[in-house]
Chains A and B, each alone.
Chain A
Amino acid sequence: MKPHILILGAGFAGHTAALHLSYLVRGKADVTVVAPNNRFTWFPSLVWVGTGTMREEETVFALKPVYDKIGIAYVDARAKIINVGTQTVTVEDAAGSPSDIHYDYLVNATGPYLNFEGTPGLGPATGNTTSICTVEHAVQTRERYLEVVRAAQAGKRGRIVVGVGHPAATCEGAAFEFLMNVHADLKRRRVRDLIDLTWLTNEPEFGDFGVDGVEALRGGVLVRGASLVRMLLDESNVQAIAGAGVTRVEPGRVHYERVGDEPGSVAFDLAMLLPQFRGIPMRYIDATGTDVTEAMTLPSGFMRVDANYEPKAYEAYRADDWPALYRSPSYDNVYAVGIAFAPPHPISKGKKTGSGLAVVATPPRTGMASGIMGRTVAENIAMQVDGKTPDHHARMSEMPAACIASMGKSLWSGSAATIIMTPVVRDFDRYPKYGRDLSLCDLDVGLNGAWTKRLLHSAFLWKLQAKPGWQLVPE
């Protein structure tokens, strides 16, 4: 009987792992993907859905036809319990009916739980803010945004706040993209002068993006992301607040504490604030039925992998604290990738407010990083299936990342910041001066970035649908 590889989740990490396993273990193992909603979402373009410049249908595709094409089984369900002893996952379909699926190899790529409850008054369902974390949230944001725009077109002033809604939130880059797209769209609609735009972020300084900032050499001159972002905020006439941990949101007003400053609040007609990410709530049990969730995960709910989780001072963090294989230290057939794995420590330095509230931009795990992890795990599982010892590694401290932050979608008048950094997590042992290889870093702002963003949208949707030649598009 062939071994069974089970992938939980079909986001960037899980879906990329499935694509690569489809040929790496063809004929040698069976592969099944468990994910809800039969849908892949191209999250990087939701910033455009939120401003009404892209239709939501252009950012999603159905997963099942893709898996049918590449010979992978698909189950439309959510994972609830992982029994690491009997190697069984209990899943629940949309109707709530449970069933068990056996695995020989397991990839946990379940992505984030959007912890809106972590901040009183936050969130689109029961709170007072919107988000762009899912297609439905982005559509809801668009409707609220267009209301503010229509009021401005009728001559009424409006206030929009964009940022993160928790002191330990992540993905500041995505929120910044939305901010700059709102600015560009308001200009296009000729109502920018009537809207006060505020950027509210937990980053210690602008341009940190949860990765301790970015820098590059341009013509032999060191350019820092912080300077670039400050320039963009000034040029766009945005009121910007850094080091802010949002503590609660009332209808029309967001309250925050700030590092090195007094607590404050900002009034809004529309607030798009990203929540904190936590691990998807799942129970882990062993063969005796004992709950081993605490041993398998960190308090954040993310799964422990081959990282060094020993608590230590920020200055003592090392590049090799970061996981190489993304494999459970207890079970060598269980992996966690993308947002599901527990980072060993923040990349960006956290600070405390006067009341002792820790404000820290937690590590982002972008599409590129998640894709690389997904592929690496696929390669390692294929080696295990062949009876070999896995040796592919992709530490975030050796991994490059490219990020294209849109600042207007138009291919003529749009713009985007292109950010390339290698590696994501600074490695001062290898690169003593900056912790990164500056010959492999870049920073640029201009129309060319808008072209690249559109190119990536099309190229990746082609790749992720496993269309001919998809392997030519790298993660």
Chain B
Amino acid sequence: MGLFWRRFLPLQLWRFVTLNIKMYRIARGSIGPGRRPH
């Protein structure tokens, strides 16, 4: 991964926020198959 993409802070911040929201929602089961009875 090039220096530009690794250090381009606005993109990194955007990816940090969106990926963490995605992981949190998947882990909580609010998107995806979830772990609850279904």
Contact = CB atoms under 8 A, between A and B. Distances in A.
Interface of A: 231-232, 235, 368, 372, 375-376, 391-394, 398-400, 402, 415, 418, 420, 422-423, 437, 440, 442, 444-448, 451-452, 455, 474-475
B34 to A, nearest CB: 8
Contacts of A399: 33, 35
A447 B35 contact: no
Given A400-B32, A447-B12, A474-B28, A442 B37 contact: no
B16 A448 contact: yes
A239 B6 CA distance: 23
A232 B7 CA distance: 17
B32 A422 contact: yes
Given A422-B26, A447-B9, A447-B12, 9 more contacts: A393-B37, A418-B19, A446-B1, A446-B12, A448-B16, A451-B12, A451-B16, A452-B20, A475-B27
Contact of B13 (A372, A402, A448): A448
Contacts of B16: 448, 451-452
Contact of B19 (A372, A447, A452): A452
B26 A446 contact: no
B19 to A, nearest CB: 5
A423 to B, nearest CB: 7
Contacts of A420: 19, 22-23, 26
Interface residues of B, number: 24
Interface of B: 1, 5-7, 9, 11-13, 15-16, 19-20, 22-24, 26-28, 31-33, 35-37
Contacts of A232: 1
A446 B32 CA distance: 25
Nearest to A414: B6
A232 B20 CA distance: 23
Contacts of A451: 12, 16
A111 to B, nearest CB: 21
A446 B5 contact: yes
Contacts of B27: 368, 400, 402, 474-475
Contacts of A372: 35
A471 B35 CA distance: 16
Determine which residue in B11, B13, B15 has the highest number of CB atoms from chain A within 10 A of its CB, and name it.
Answer: B15
B35 A442 contact: no
Given A402-B27, A420-B23, A440 B15 contact: no
Contacts of B20: 452, 455
A442 B28 contact: no
A437 B23 contact: no
Nearest to B14: A448
Given A415-B1, A447-B12, A451-B16, A392 B37 contact: yes
Nearest to B35: A394
A321 to B, nearest CB: 17
A400 B7 contact: no
A134 B1 CA distance: 31
A42 to B, nearest CB: 17
Nearest to A376: B35
A380 B35 CA distance: 12
Given A392-B36, A423-B33, A447-B6, A402 B15 contact: no
Contacts of B6: 415, 446-447
A448 B19 contact: yes
A474 B24 contact: yes
Contact of A448 (B12, B24, B31): B12
Nearest to B16: A448
Contacts of A446: 1, 5-6, 11-12, 15
Contacts of B22: 420, 440, 442
Contacts of A231: 1
B19 A442 contact: yes
